[in-house]
């Protein structure tokens, strides 16, 4: 093994096998941070193309002043083609980014073991296979580690270092040091299905699909709600779940949904709906096929416009049901011009407003005149100027006249309004609570530290905050209340709150609190 000139890690000569999208990015990071890289691919043209493209990339970075001309030339000179696997002899680290198949990755590492030195590390960029299972094909499984990057590698500044059942703990530390040296933020994950990011990412799409399958709202409405109603100090999700699935492609996201669900032995939290399986069969993959949850014309989604704000002659008086969010709803309604009734019961001419957490409007309207009942989601701010969208929900008994009155009232200041059919937890409550729920389960299972879970998900999935921080901002006890109520109302074990969340909510602790 060569001696590393790097102070924090021992790697001087790496080999990258598989020079597609990911292998190229990984080779770029290594070469930029002073590690020499030999590139091998079963398709020799792919190696030549990768080296040419990386040379171009370094040149462009130098032109933009992002690296010096000398550094660009040095990085380019660190890239070398390997014509055969044998040419990787002497590498002290091999990173594979070949096709995502267990047999192929096992065969590759088994073939490399006698070529590279005894102490050389074998890292896999697999996103869905078990690192332990890949290592099981090796004579020395302790030298195998997961090094899971995100696409595009240079821009997605987080990497999961995956600790297989037999991985040498010292190797995990060395990979953490190497990751830092490349400028990426390493997070350490125990080898479990989906590691951190693809595991934590199950809630957003899956829960939105569940709401769609229940007929709560149509696709554009769910996307608009998650983009515009959800806001953590003003920042929300950049894309709605259906927009995101269209971008990724259902041919990629549906198998991940199924595989994580199956690998966790049918854990109800991850249970997919039949919607995606069927749409995949129909070839409705998303942008790449021109048709997914949306149709694409000239690369742009064609989404139907929003339903118009109903015209209502005079706003009715408003009565707000008792509860912790009563004042918030009454204040907003009053600021929008409504007269607020303060009696114990609504007068016969009053619009009845409800503000449930985790309950549906029907459950919240128990004992009240349901024909005049409309619920408003208060999980995120609803005051004028503090929100982009307000979300209402009706009971099956709500008369359209009262639904329209509530819609017109809450749109009176120009804020957008969505109206849902009845759903325990509206859309935002159930989706965000499930995101927190899944992340707290990852923490409970000690797959990663709470801090690493938060960082990995925020950067890897581009969420406005890490999921545990989201839970803290909303209040752990609020998230617990939402999940407990949905669980009780539906009987679906998918919504059962886990111990990590319950204990911290009960003790008033941060969801980032380890024990
Ligand atoms: N694309 C992503 O978003 C992403 C993200 C994280 C991880 N990954 C993982 O990274 C790996 C590579 O993905 P990609 O998107 O770069 O794929 P890709 O298809 O762009 O590139 C794969 C390359 O590997 C080569 N290859 C295939 N089998 C080989 C073998 N047996 N020996 C040598 N070369 C071989 C192919 O010729 C190709 O050039 C997969 O394991 C994938 O799951 C992908």
222-241 per-position pLDDT tens digit: 999 999 999 999 999 999 99
- Cα 334 to chain center, whole Å? 37
Is the Cβ–Cβ distance between 429 and 482 less than 8 Å? Answer: yes
Q: Which of 25, 54, 99 for a ligand 1 pocket mutation test, highest count of atoms within 8 Å of Cβ?
A: 99
Q: Distance between CA atoms of 340 and 344, rounded to whole angstroms?
A: 12
What share of the chain has pLDDT > 90, as a percent?
Answer: 97
For β-strands 79-81 and 318-320, DSSP reports them as unpaired
pLDDT digits (tens, 9 = 90+) for 371-421: 999 999 999 999 999 999 999 999 999 999 999 999 999 999 999 999 999
Per-residue DSSP letters for 39-92?
EE-SSHHHHHHHHHHHHHHHHHHHHTTSS-HHHHHHHHHTEEE-SSGGGGTT-S
Tokens 């090796």 correspond to: 138
**Which has more confidence, 220 or 2?**
220
Confidence of residue 3 (pLDDT cuts 50, 70, 90): low
Q: Name the token pair of 306.
A: 């929003």
Confidence of residue 318 (pLDDT cuts 50, 70, 90): very high
- Measured by CA distance, the residue closest to atom 12 of ligand 1 is 97
Residue 201: which of 393, 500, 419, 459 has the closest Cα? 459
- Measured by CA distance, the residue closest to atom 11 of ligand 1 is 97
Residue 356: which of 324, 333, 400 has the closest Cα? 324
Confirm or reject: Cβ of 22 under 6 Å from ligand 1. Answer: yes
Is the Cβ–Cβ distance between 33 and 179 less than 8 Å? Answer: no
Confirm or reject: Cβ of 96 under 6 Å from ligand 1. Answer: no
Q: Rounded to the nearest whole angstrom, what is the distance from the C-alpha of residue 278 to the centroid of ligand 1?
A: 27
Q: What is the reported pTM? A: 0.95
Q: Rounded to the nearest whole angstrom, what is the distance from the C-alpha of residue 420 to the centroid of ligand 1?
A: 42
Q: Rounded to the nearest whole angstrom, what is the distance from the C-alpha of residue 67 to the centroid of ligand 1?
A: 28
DSSP state of 320: E
**SS3 assignment, position 200:** helix
Q: Please identify, by atom number, the ligand 1 atom nearest to the C-alpha of residue 101.
A: 41
- Measured by CA distance, the residue closest to atom 36 of ligand 1 is 18
Q: What is the mean pLDDT of residues 136-150?
A: 97
DSSP state of 308: P
User: Taking 80 as the threshold, does the pLDDT of residue 465 lie above it?
Assistant: yes
Tokens 């999208």 correspond to: 21
Confirm or reject: Cβ of 102 under 6 Å from ligand 1. Answer: no
Q: Name the token pair of 280.
A: 């995949």
User: Taking 80 as the threshold, does the pLDDT of residue 1 lie above it?
Assistant: no
Q: Distance between CA atoms of 191 and 141, rounded to whole angstroms?
A: 13
Contacts 24+ apart (CB under 8 A), 330-336: 331/383, 332/382, 332/383, 332/384, 332/410, 333/409, 333/410, 335/383, 335/384, 335/413, 336/384, 336/409, 336/410, 336/412, 336/413
Residue 282's pLDDT is 96
**SS3 assignment, position 123:** strand
- Measured by CA distance, the residue closest to atom 18 of ligand 1 is 20
- Measured by CA distance, the residue closest to atom 29 of ligand 1 is 98
φ, ψ for residue 446, nearest 5 deg: 55, 35
- Measured by CA distance, the residue closest to atom 26 of ligand 1 is 98
For the chain, state the CA radius of gyration: 26
Residue 40: which of 11, 72, 68, 18 has the closest Cα? 18
The contacts of residue 256 (CB under 8 Å, 6+ apart) are 128, 194, 198
Confirm or reject: Cβ of 44 under 6 Å from ligand 1. Answer: no
Cis peptide before 102 (omega within 30 of 0): no
Q: Which of 39, 98, 160, 161 for a ligand 1 pocket mutation test, highest count of atoms within 8 Å of Cβ?
A: 98
- Cα 99 to chain center, whole Å? 23
- Measured by CA distance, the residue closest to atom 21 of ligand 1 is 20
Question: Could you give the residue numbers annotated as active site?
Answer: 127, 148, 160, 198
Residue 479: which of 429, 513, 444, 445 has the closest Cα? 429
Q: Distance between CA atoms of 178 and 164, rounded to whole angstroms?
A: 18
Residue 5 burial (10 A CB sphere; 0-12, 13-18, 19+): exposed
Q: Rounded to the nearest whole angstrom, what is the distance from the C-alpha of residue 62 to the centroid of ligand 1?
A: 28
Residue 313's pLDDT is 86
Residue 47's pLDDT is 98
- Cα 250 to chain center, whole Å? 15
Q: Which of 17, 19, 22, 288 for a ligand 1 pocket mutation test, highest count of atoms within 8 Å of Cβ?
A: 22
Q: What is the mean pLDDT of residues 276-303?
A: 94
User: Taking 90 as the threshold, does the pLDDT of residue 4 lie above it?
Assistant: no
Q: Which of 15, 16, 21, 29 for a ligand 1 pocket mutation test, highest count of atoms within 8 Å of Cβ?
A: 21
User: Taking 70 as the threshold, does the pLDDT of residue 175 lie above it?
Assistant: yes
Q: Name the token pair of 64.
A: 């933009």
Residue 162: which of 201, 110, 199, 111 has the closest Cα? 199
Name which of 3-12, 349-358, 469-478 the model is least confident about: 3-12
Q: Please identify, by atom number, the ligand 1 atom nearest to the C-alpha of residue 23.
A: 16
Q: Please identify, by atom number, the ligand 1 atom nearest to the C-alpha of residue 126.
A: 41
Q: Distance between CA atoms of 135 and 110, rounded to whole angstroms?
A: 9
Residue 5's pLDDT is 81
Q: Rounded to the nearest whole angstrom, what is the distance from the C-alpha of residue 47 to the centroid of ligand 1?
A: 13
pLDDT digits (tens, 9 = 90+) for 252-271: 999 999 999 999 999 999 99
Name which of 296-305, 327-336, 461-470 the model is least confident about: 296-305
Residue 32: which of 55, 65, 10 has the closest Cα? 55
Residue 473's pLDDT is 98
- Cα 355 to chain center, whole Å? 28
DSSP state of 225: I
Residue 265 burial (10 A CB sphere; 0-12, 13-18, 19+): exposed
Q: Distance between CA atoms of 51 and 47, rounded to whole angstroms?
A: 6
Residue 314's pLDDT is 87
Q: Rounded to the nearest whole angstrom, what is the distance from the C-alpha of residue 96 to the centroid of ligand 1?
A: 8
- Measured by CA distance, the residue closest to atom 20 of ligand 1 is 20
Residue 27 burial (10 A CB sphere; 0-12, 13-18, 19+): buried
| Category of 507 on φ-ψ map: left (φ > 0), alpha (ψ -120 to 50) or beta | alpha
Residue 483's pLDDT is 98
pLDDT digits (tens, 9 = 90+) for 418-451: 999 999 999 999 999 999 999 999 999 999 999 9
Q: What is the mean pLDDT of residues 11-20?
A: 98
């Amino acid at each position: 093994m060569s001696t590393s000139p790097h102070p924090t890690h021992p790697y001087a000569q790496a080999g990258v096998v598989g020079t597609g999208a990911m292998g190229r990015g990984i080779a770029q990071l290594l070469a930029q941070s002073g590690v020499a890289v030999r590139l091998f691919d079963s398709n020799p043209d792919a190696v030549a193309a990768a080296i040419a493209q990386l040379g171009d990339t370094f040149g462009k970075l130098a032109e933009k002043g992002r690296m010096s001309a000398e550094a660009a030339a040095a990085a380019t000179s660190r890239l070398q083609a390997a014509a055969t696997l044998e040419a990787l002899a002497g590498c002290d680290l091999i990173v594979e980014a070949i096709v995502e198949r267990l047999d192929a990755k096992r065969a590759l590492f088994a073939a490399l073991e006698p070529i590279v030195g005894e102490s050389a590390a074998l890292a896999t960029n697999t996103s869905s296979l078990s690192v332990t299972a890949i290592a099981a094909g090796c004579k020395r499984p302790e030298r195998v580690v997961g090094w899971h990057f995100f696409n595009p590698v240079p821009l997605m500044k987080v990497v999961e270092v995956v600790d297989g059942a037999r991985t040498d703990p010292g190797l995990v530390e060395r990979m953490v040091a190497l990751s830092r040296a490349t400028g990426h933020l390493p997070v350490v994950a125990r080898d479990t299905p989906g590691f951190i990011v693809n595991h934590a990412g199950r809630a957003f799409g899956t829960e939105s699909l569940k709401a769609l399958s229940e007929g709560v709202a149509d696709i554009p409405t769910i996307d608009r709600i998650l983009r515009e109603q959800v806001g953590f100090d003003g920042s929300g999700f950049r894309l709605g779940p259906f927009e995101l699935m269209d971008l990724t492609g259902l041919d990629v996201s549906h198998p991940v949904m199924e595989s994580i669900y199956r690998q966790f032995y049918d854990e109800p939290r991850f249970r997919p709906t039949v919607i995606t399986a069927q749409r995949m069969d129909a070839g409705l993959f998303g942008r790449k096929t021109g048709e997914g949850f949306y149709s694409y014309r000239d690369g742009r989604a064609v989404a139907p416009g929003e339903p118009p704000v109903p015209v209502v002659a005079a706003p009715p008086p408003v009565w707000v049901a008792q509860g912790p969010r009563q004042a918030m709803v009454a204040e907003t309604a009053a600021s929008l011009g409504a007269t607020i009734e303060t009696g114990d019961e609504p007068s016969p001419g009053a619009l009845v407003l409800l503000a449930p957490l985790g309950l549906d409007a029907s459950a919240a309207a128990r004992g009240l005149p349901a024909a005049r009942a409309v619920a408003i989601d208060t999980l995120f701010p609803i005051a004028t100027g503090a929100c982009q969208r307000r979300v209402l929900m009706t009971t099956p008994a709500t008369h359209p006249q009262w639904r329209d009155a509530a819609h017109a009232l809450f749109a009176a200041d120009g804020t957008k309004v969505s109206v849902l059919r009845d759903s325990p937890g509206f859309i935002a409550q159930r989706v965000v609570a499930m995101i927190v729920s899944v992340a707290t389960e990852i923490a409970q299972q000690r797959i990663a530290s709470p801090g690493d879970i938060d960082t990995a998900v925020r950067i890897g999935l581009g969420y406005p905050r890490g999921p545990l921080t989201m839970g803290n901002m909303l209040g752990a006890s609020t998230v617990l209340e939402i999940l407990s109520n949905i669980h009780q109302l539906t009987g679906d074990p998918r919504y059962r709150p886990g111990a990590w969340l319950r204990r911290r909510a009960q003790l008033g602790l941060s969801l980032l609190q380890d024990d």
